[in-house]
Amino acid sequence: MTDLKRLYDAILDGDAKTATAVTKEALAEGVNPLDLVTNHMVPAMDEVGKRFECEEYFVPELLISARAMKGALELIRPLLAAQGSEPVARVAIGTVKGDLHDIGKNLVASMLEGGGFEVIDLGADVSPDKFVAAVKERGANLICLSALLTVTMPAMKTTIEALTNAGVRGKIKIMVGGAPVTPQYATEIGADGYGENAISAVSLARQLVAQGSEASA
Amino acid sequence: MNAKERLQAALRHREPDGIPIDFGGTSVTGIHVSAVAALREAYGLEKRPVKVHEPYQMLGLLDDDLKEAMGIDVEGAFPRDTMFGFANRNWKTWRMPDGLEVLISDQFVTTTDANGDILVYPEGDLSAPPSGKMPRGGYFCDTIVRQPPIDDATLNVEENLEEFTPMSEDQLEHIRCATAAAAATGRGVIATFGGTAFGDIALVPAPFLKHPKGIRDVAEWYMSTATRRDYIHGIFGHQCEIALANLERVRATVGDAVDAVFICGTDFGTQASTFCSVKTFRDLYFPYYKRVNDWVHRNTGWRTFKHSCGAVEKLIPSFIEAGFDILNPVQCSAAGMAPEHLKKEYGEQIVFWGGGVDTQKVLPFGTPEDVRRQVLERCEVFSRGGGFVFNSIHNVQACTPVRNIMAMIDAVREFNGITKRDTRH
């Protein structure tokens, strides 16, 4: 039997080759893919987050752990889909119109994936109508908007307005982040929350999804 | 005091007759071309298209008349080639996406893609893949990463060294002329010679090269600082040797006409933390910075300028130990970067060149009174005992209200008036 602690350690250490190899072995042995995600990969990424918050890990370590996690997840994702497993939530993420800076957005996307979310990465310089389409056509129920520049921050507001005008605002939660963005700005433009970094974004996403579930219950 | 003496006093941690002001002296203390145009109009100066001297961030050249109107004490000397690998020669008219007419090098060659984004080409060569992109309706460029596939088995340090070469005679002659012209203004001189930035993430994708090789992707580079440390040491080691040889030739050419030299713009801070641990900084970067700074101090009277955005308080002692004399942009809005704390802990050992006003919130989105209040507070804290050059926290961005930029300048003057400056220039 494959020692699944190796998967946890490989993600924590950012060892993509081992993470992929152990996942392959485990799947070949018939281990439930959801078990791999829930009991090994998500806890590993949670530990990565903790180490980041206490400044034991920094951006390079986050990136290599996320890469290891993604490698394993790519093997697992089709199997989860075939099983009909529902993700924690379906997130559409992108940098807003006019903003090409996507390192922060990529990190948030990776950490959300590591946290069990299904991530629809719309990329950089994303127009409001693409976010609307992600909700309407792909079922996204959480929207993450990123901006690095003071001149592109207003595009967060116009994106939220577009989602409101499209009649989908009530079905989704919206969170925002990026260097010049503040909690006050998030409130001003009608977002549901502000994530200071990739780690806090995952906690916030979990909170917002829980709120959404309570509201619809 | 004249402008040069004012800067020199501040750099030597002596209180000048007023805080020296820099805008436009470097590529990290500049003003977006649209804001320069707005300032020219607001100060009632001759209406004419502004030159874009830095076509990556679209920084506008501050001509002498504007510098006089704003009371600028610092003049920049820039290397021959821009971020896109061409020289600022043969100015041509170009329209920004918002319609503003500017002047820009005729080698700023662009195409527009299907999305309406403007693509920029290295050395103005349309046969090379574009290296910069200005989004439709945007105000500045970002680099297009051109990353060849990486095979660790064959990865060779030499591939990441293409941009680090002995300076050509033409480049050296440009530096001689640029420095002489800067010195002739009577202002203090900060020079950028290039080649001494170790791992600056803006330079890693090499938008100035036609076909960059090695590690050029931003995330791949950051990961490499953890996973391929020997490779990065290999780059920095070679780069350092070449840089020191170039500096020797530059020193012989410009001598002590220069007051400060922009050594490195590598950002070590995020909004809330650092990009690496102090331990990593000391292993990977410190030795090269120390060699460069030691060489400068042994051989010249130049003060060395380190730019790093973000929450770098924990690294400041290492910056100082590595021999940096000046820190920029002093991002007080980042974690642990409170002005009082920085001045108290490090103010006697390092010059703060920046920190004058926040450009993420106050300057672009505050009222003129908000700007005035913050500038006066910052001047009060940072100017005690010298060691302060006024500049906003990084470049003044596009869309910043001109009344706020003027309120910022007026507030520094107000502060300087209180200190009873004798004469200005």
B418 pLDDT more than 60: no
Measured CA to CA, the distance from residue A113 to residue A120 in angstroms comes to 10
- pLDDT (0 to 100) of residue A204: 95
Interface test with B, best of A17, A125, A188 (most B CBs within 10 A): A125
Could you tell me if A81 lies within 8 Å of chain B, comparing CB atoms? Answer: no
- Binding-face residues of A in 149-168 toward B, CB within 8 A: 149-151
Residue that wins the pLDDT comparison between A214 and B219: B219
Could you tell me if A58 lies within 8 Å of chain B, comparing CB atoms? Answer: yes
- pLDDT (0 to 100) of residue B166: 97
Measured CA to CA, the distance from residue B386 to residue A212 in angstroms comes to 55
> E strand or H helix at B380, and its extent?
helix B368-382
List Cβ neighbours of B151 (8 Å cut-off, separation of 6 or more): none
List the one residue out of B131, B301, B289, B98 whose CA is nearest residue B202: B131
* Mean pLDDT, rounded, of chain A: 93
B397 and A149 within 8 Å at the Cβ level: the answer is: yes
- pLDDT (0 to 100) of residue B167: 97
In chain A, % of residues over pLDDT 90: 77
- pLDDT (0 to 100) of residue A100: 87
Query: How big is the CA angle at B317 (ends B311 and B319), to the nearest 5 degrees?
Result: 80
B276 and A60 within 8 Å at the Cβ level: the answer is: yes
B420 pLDDT band, cuts 50/70/90, is very low
Query: How big is the CA angle at B307 (ends B413 and B170), to the nearest 5 degrees?
Result: 100
The least confident of A112-116, B260-264, B334-338, B415-419 is B415-419
B361 pLDDT more than 50: yes
- pLDDT (0 to 100) of residue A215: 65
Which of B218, B223, B399 is opposite residue A64, by nearest beta carbon? B223
Nearest chain B Cα distance for residue A179, angstroms: 6
B189-210 average pLDDT score: 97
In chain A, % of residues over pLDDT 70: 98
B297-320 CB burial, b ≥16 within 10 A, e <16: eeebebbbbbbbbbbbbbbbebbe
- Within 13 A of B17's CA, how many CA atoms are on the CB side? 13
B259 pLDDT more than 60: yes
Measured CA to CA, the distance from residue B374 to residue B371 in angstroms comes to 5
- pLDDT (0 to 100) of residue B423: 42
Work out the burial of residue B407: count CB atoms within 10 Å of its CB; fewer than 13 is exposed, 13-18 middle, 19 or more buried: buried
Q: How confident is the model over A167-186, as pLDDT tens digits?
A: 999 999 999 999 899 999 99
Determine the residue of chain B that is closest to A101 in CA distance.
Answer: B142
Question: Residue B370 in contact with residue B359, Cβ under 8 Å?
Answer: no
Q: How confident is the model over B69-82, as pLDDT tens digits?
A: 999 999 999 999 99
Measured CA to CA, the distance from residue A52 to residue A61 in angstroms comes to 8
Rg (chain A; Cα; Å): 17
A217 pLDDT band, cuts 50/70/90, is low
B359-384 average pLDDT score: 97
Nearest chain B Cα distance for residue A86, angstroms: 30
- pLDDT (0 to 100) of residue B424: 47
- Within 13 A of A73's CA, how many CA atoms are on the CB side? 24
ipTM score for this prediction? 0.91
Measured CA to CA, the distance from residue B368 to residue B152 in angstroms comes to 54
Which residue carries 């909690």 as its tokens? A183
* Mean pLDDT, rounded, of chain B: 96
Could you tell me if A84 lies within 8 Å of chain B, comparing CB atoms? Answer: no
A16-20 average pLDDT score: 97
Q: Tokens for B378, please give them.
A: 């910052």
Measured CA to CA, the distance from residue A128 to residue A134 in angstroms comes to 10
Measured CA to CA, the distance from residue B136 to residue B133 in angstroms comes to 9
List the one residue out of A153, A100, A155 whose CA is nearest residue A125: A100
Chain B partners within 8 Å of A125 (Cβ)? 115, 117, 135
Determine the residue of chain A that is closest to B311 in CA distance.
Answer: A179
Measured CA to CA, the distance from residue A66 to residue A202 in angstroms comes to 13
**Residue B370: how many CB atoms within 10 A of its CB?**
17
- pLDDT (0 to 100) of residue A115: 87
